[in-house]
Amino acid sequence: MIDLRSDTVTKPTQKMREAMMNAAVGDDVFGEDPTVNLLQSTLAEKFGLEAGLFCPSGTMTNQIAINVHTSPGDEVICDQLSHVYNYEGGGIARNSGCSVKLIQSTNCQISLEDVKTKINPSDSHYARTSLLCVEDTVNKGGGVCYEFDQLKSLSEFSKEEKLAYHLDGARVVNALVAKGHNWESYGSLFDSISVCLSKGLGTPGGSVLLGSQSFIDEAHRVRKVMGGGMRQTGMLAAAGLYALENNVDRMIEDHQKARLLGECLKDQKWVSNVVPVETNIVVFELDGIPAVDFQAALAQNGILAMPFGPTKMRFVTHLDFNDQDLSSTIKCLEQMPY
């Protein structure tokens, strides 16, 4: 089967497996796993931040960040389509006791003007606005990327308003590759960053939370409370180190394949709209065809994909989606009986 459901479906390559098997390990709860420590410091250095914390998932790194940056009763600003709001099990309320102020943004990208209207007055009748969360790339926006100046303006405003500024960087490496941003300059904009390793980077799992040393010290405590402490997890961290060394520059190939899929879809009469493709995500609207029916038709032709709404679909390219898979998928799309 050709699997376009997500870039999380990738499997470790043989060389990544070898790196994992050869990893030095120790007890990470005690901070004694040398490979984990190296992964944390490597990513922190790349983004120009002081420290990192390896966790099982991006949901956990996001939820830890929210918990550290806020107090119960505070309010978090994020986009209405953001992952932290829609796909983390209500964790903002459940884990941190915070309410959420939602932004209905243009193209799923929060603007400075959007945020300015969402800050609560300094009045005991209102929740204290304490955190701004952004997502880059934006999953629900079809993998769209922020421009550096957009993120910078939000960073400067957050500092003025004494808001913490967190990045859900589930696919931040895709954004960095697509836009050519300098990693360190980009990292300097945020108080904390969640970097997922199990999507385009192709590892079996894990995310790293980045920030100041004091922030990470507290994050370590919250990770413990959430049950995220791991022991000899250097083998998983070794996959992350291998990916950072070998799987970053090749992401441009995923982006190119996604663009070719997008171009093919634009030519199909049964497609009413294709979201502009910037990275490895292709989101398109079907012309009156239920997404579940289209999903079933693809599956009959050996292609797995995800509905993204009643008549909307998502394809995600990745390192296990090769040139032959691309050709087969385009051929299938061109022959769909609609």
Total H helices, total E strands in the chain: 14, 13
Q: Is residue 109 part of a domain?
A: yes
The CATH number linked to 309 is: 3.90.1150.10
Number of domains forming the structure of the chain: 2
End-of-domain residue from the set 215, 246, 277: 246
Q: Is residue 265 part of a domain?
A: yes
Question: How many whole angstroms separate alpha carbon 161 and alpha carbon 115?
Answer: 11
Sort residue 149 into left (φ over 0), alpha (ψ -120 to 50) or beta. Answer: alpha
Q: Does one domain contain both 99 and 39?
A: yes
Q: Does one domain contain both 143 and 17?
A: yes
Q: Is residue 99 part of a domain?
A: yes
Give the chain as a 3 state SS string: CEECCCHHHCCCCHHHHHHHHCCCCCCHHHCCCHHHHHHHHHHHHHCCCCEEEEECCHHHHHHHHHHHHCCCCCEEEEECCCHHHHCCCCHHHHHHCCEEEEECCECCECCHHHHHCCCCCCCCCCCCEEEEEEECCECCCCCECCCHHHHHHHHHHHHHCCCEEEEEECCHHHHHHHHCCCHHHHHCCCCEEEEECCCCCCCCCCEEEEECHHHHHHHHHHHHHCCCCCCCCHHHHHHHHHHHHHCCCCHHHHHHHHHHHHHHHHCCCCEEEECCCCCCEEEEEECCCCHHHHHHHHHHCCEECEEEECCEEEEECCCCCCHHHHHHHHHHHHCCCC
Q: Is residue 32 part of a domain?
A: yes
Q: Does one domain contain both 266 and 200?
A: no
Q: Does one domain contain both 318 and 306?
A: yes
Q: Is residue 7 part of a domain?
A: no
- Identify the pLDDT of residue 263: 98
The CATH number linked to 211 is: 3.40.640.10
Q: Does one domain contain both 240 and 254?
A: no
* Measured CA distances, 45 to 41, 167, 188 (Å): 6, 17, 11
284: containing domain: 250-334
Q: Is residue 1 part of a domain?
A: no
Q: Does one domain contain both 49 and 190?
A: yes
Within 10 angstroms of residue 73's Cβ, the number of other Cβ atoms is: 12
Question: How many whole angstroms separate alpha carbon 264 and alpha carbon 73?
Answer: 48
End-of-domain residue from the set 200, 223, 246: 246
Determine the distance from the C-alpha atom of residue 28 to the mean position of all C-alpha atoms in its chain, rounded to a whole number. 24
Complete DSSP assignment for 155-187: HHHHHHTT-EEEEEETTHHHHHHHHT--HHHHH
- What predicted TM-score, i.e. pTM, was given to this entire model? 0.96
Torsion of CA 9, 11, 16, 21, to 10 degrees: 110
Q: Does one domain contain both 111 and 260?
A: no
Q: Is residue 3 part of a domain?
A: no
Q: Does one domain contain both 286 and 175?
A: no
- Identify the pLDDT of residue 307: 97
Q: Does one domain contain both 159 and 280?
A: no
End-of-domain residue from the set 194, 214, 246: 246
Q: Is residue 204 part of a domain?
A: yes
Q: Does one domain contain both 170 and 86?
A: yes
Q: Does one domain contain both 234 and 108?
A: yes
Per DSSP bridges, beta strands 129-135 and 99-103 are unpaired
- Identify the pLDDT of residue 108: 81
Question: How many whole angstroms separate alpha carbon 149 and alpha carbon 28?
Answer: 37
Q: Does one domain contain both 36 and 154?
A: yes
- Identify the pLDDT of residue 338: 87
List per-block mean pLDDT (blocks of 10 residues) for the chain, which spans 338 residues: 97 97 96 97 98 98 98 97 96 98 90 95 96 96 95 98 97 98 98 98 97 98 96 97 98 98 97 97 97 97 96 98 98 94
